[in-house]
Amino acid sequence: MNYSFWLAALLLLGGLSPAARAQGTVRRHLIYFQDKTGTPYSVSQPQAFLSARALARRSRQGIVVRARDLPVNPAYVAQVRAVGGSPQVRYTSRWLNAAVVACDSVTLGRIYQLPSVKGGQTLSRLPEAPRPAPAPEAAPAARTTAEVRATYGKAYAQNELIGAVAMHAAGYQGEGMQIAVFDAGFPGADQIGPLQLLQQQGRVAGTRNFVDGGTSVYQRNSHGTNCLGLIGGELPGTYVGTAPHATFHLCLTEDVASEYPVEEANWLAAAEYADSAGVDVISSSLGYNTFDRPAVSHTYADLNGRTAISSLAALGAARAGMVVVNSAGNDGNNAWRYIAVPADADSIITVGAVDSLRQHAGFSSYGPTADGRIKPTLSAMGVASAVLSATGTIGRGNGTSYACPELAGLVAGFWQANPTLTAQQVIAALCRSASQAQAPDNSLGYGIPNFVAAYNLLHPSTPLAATPAAAPSARLGIYPNPSRTGELTLVLPPALQRQALRVRVLDAKGAVVVERSLPAQATAEVPLRPARQLAPGTYQCVVQPLAGGTPQAVRFTQQ
């Protein structure tokens, strides 16, 4: 994944025989088959390879099972395994009628001679020794706005920006919806507090490791934990994600040690797994443009939605009736500048990043695609997003990687509220509701979507009212209030935003106990960490622009 701060990797294979290694360098290859002639599977018996939930999803949307959905002919796979040289068939692709095979060059030559084989391409080289895995990254009754904000903790702003707070208040938190998260690992996701309900309630429906094989995913890089938390986190008073009651499939497709096209093949395999499992929404904070040598990197001309393996996979997922939500990429300030793949795919939601003031994040990648389509599709908060780490702490992070899962959760809740819609109708409704619907561009796409606006477009006779929290307050705010930890967050009204500030905290006698200057902020929420723990009592926080202007004050209690 070629994002400026997020490197991806060569797939590691285990279990190859010494004989296979002796014949030469082992690589992974995508082997394409000629046809599906003679397959024991039939479109009239789809239950043999698709789950009941997958078939129901297609039936609701009028999507028929076609020949492209049939599994690869098992006889062809058996022929590959029988050529000699110990080739390993790692997994197959229904949609591309192909298999990912690990073998040396001599064995590959024998495979290409099979009459059932149409051709192939090299995906990666296998290192002689496994590399160590990178260390996890540290990363209802009516309520007042303050009470709502306190429930969401530091995640309030990112939920509020896209209308997820109102969506939850209306009773839609992802119940009954299934979301697949594709990423580089989920260490701690089975242990940390804000994700405990997923485990306790059995809402992790499946796990797949397409890097190492098997089903172990609570390992490797914590980027997946970060992204999962943005959707499924729930610990009221501390942190709430955008679809905290959804059911999840966790797919490890990314290895962060190097970058080869095999990871796009992993993405393909995960998408076909998600299809067969009956997943509704795919959340993928992954992207590819530049590969390590000797692999050939993508060019801008490849961004047509029809060239890259992962883009074809994303299109296949869309055709199967899933909503694919993929990050645009973080190359907006780099020479590449453009989105990556599979963000170029047609019929998916490509997500750009904004700050809490709804301004484009400079790092957020731009469109259009090579064939002129607008990208990104929609945008969400990706500057100073509140993100869960593998240890359960909450930090702030930047990236379209974070805007993507936030929006994926909104998609799940919106579809839950409108279950008769097709996947493409869901995307269309959210685009119509967005802030730039009348003038989309290649920075923010159709803009920032809003649950209430999208819902009311579809239900004009029974509209939802915007929650009181939807409008920014004109007054200074602070939370948590009361505070127990000493970690405070200032909520700046528009009059105090985007300018340098002087902040003072006064005790009950009027004595200044904290005084500091803050630079101009690109976000409405500003952490305020006193140098020492405040003694229990009542305090007043006074904020004034350094350039002069009217000060604002807010009282809070330290317990």
Return the residue matching tokens 């060569």: 10
pLDDT recorded at residue 408: 98
- Let me know how long the chain is: 559
| Residue 193, CA atoms < 13 Å, CB-side half-sphere | 9
In a domain, 120, yes or no: yes
Helices (H) and strands (E) in the chain, counts: 14, 22
H or E segment and range at residue 181:
strand 178-183
Q: Which of 424, 458, 492 is the last residue of a domain?
A: 458
45/125 Cα distance (integer angstroms):
38
Does residue 217 sit in the same domain as residue 354? Answer: yes
- Torsion, Cα 81 82 84 85, to 10 degrees, reads 10
Q: Please check whether residue 178 is in contact with residue 205, taking contact to mean a CB–CB distance below 8 angstroms.
A: yes
416/332 Cα distance (integer angstroms):
33
140: number of Cβ within 10 Å: 8
In a domain, 309, yes or no: yes
18: number of Cβ within 10 Å: 7
Does residue 31 sit in the same domain as residue 98? Answer: yes
pLDDT 10s digit of each residue in the chain, 559 long? Answer: 644 333 222 222 233 333 333 346 889 999 999 999 999 999 999 999 999 999 999 999 999 999 999 999 999 999 999 998 899 999 999 999 999 999 999 999 999 999 999 999 999 755 433 434 444 444 344 566 677 888 999 999 999 999 999 999 999 999 999 999 999 999 999 999 999 999 999 999 999 999 999 999 999 999 999 999 999 999 998 999 999 999 999 999 998 888 899 999 999 999 999 999 999 999 999 999 999 889 999 999 999 999 999 999 999 999 999 999 999 999 999 999 999 999 999 999 999 999 999 999 999 999 999 999 999 999 999 999 999 999 999 999 999 999 999 999 999 999 999 999 999 999 999 999 999 999 999 999 999 999 999 999 999 999 987 654 444 566 787 877 777 766 788 888 888 888 899 999 988 888 898 888 888 876 677 887 775 678 888 888 899 999 888 888 888 878 7
Which of 422, 404, 406, 270 minimizes the C-alpha distance to 349?
A: 404
Residue 94 sits in a domain whose CATH number is: 3.30.70
In a domain, 70, yes or no: yes
In a domain, 131, yes or no: no
Does residue 454 sit in the same domain as residue 480? Answer: no
Does residue 90 sit in the same domain as residue 211? Answer: no
209 beta partners: 252
Does residue 249 sit in the same domain as residue 302? Answer: yes
Does residue 86 sit in the same domain as residue 203? Answer: no
Q: Which of 125, 157, 183 is the last residue of a domain?
A: 125
Number of domains composing the chain:
3
Strands 117-125 and 537-545, how do they pair?
unpaired
Residue 309 sits in a domain whose CATH number is: 3.40.50.200
pLDDT recorded at residue 392: 95
In a domain, 7, yes or no: no
In a domain, 467, yes or no: no
State whether residue 529 is helix, strand or coil.
Answer: coil
| Residue 306, CA atoms < 13 Å, CB-side half-sphere | 5
Does residue 388 sit in the same domain as residue 431? Answer: yes
234/182 Cα distance (integer angstroms):
20
Q: What is the set of active-site residues?
A: 183, 223, 401
Q: Which of 125, 156, 174 is the last residue of a domain?
A: 125
Does residue 285 sit in the same domain as residue 429? Answer: yes
448/397 Cα distance (integer angstroms):
19
Does residue 309 sit in the same domain as residue 348? Answer: yes
Domain carrying residue 490: 472-558
Cβ density class 84-97: b for 16+ within 10 Å, e for less: ebbbbbbbbbbbbb
**Residue 559 DSSP code:** -
Does residue 265 sit in the same domain as residue 302? Answer: yes
Does residue 444 sit in the same domain as residue 486? Answer: no
344/327 Cα distance (integer angstroms):
10
Residue 507 sits in a domain whose CATH number is: 2.60.40.3080
In a domain, 105, yes or no: yes
In a domain, 463, yes or no: no
pLDDT recorded at residue 456: 96
Does residue 173 sit in the same domain as residue 79? Answer: no
Strands 378-381 and 349-354, how do they pair?
parallel
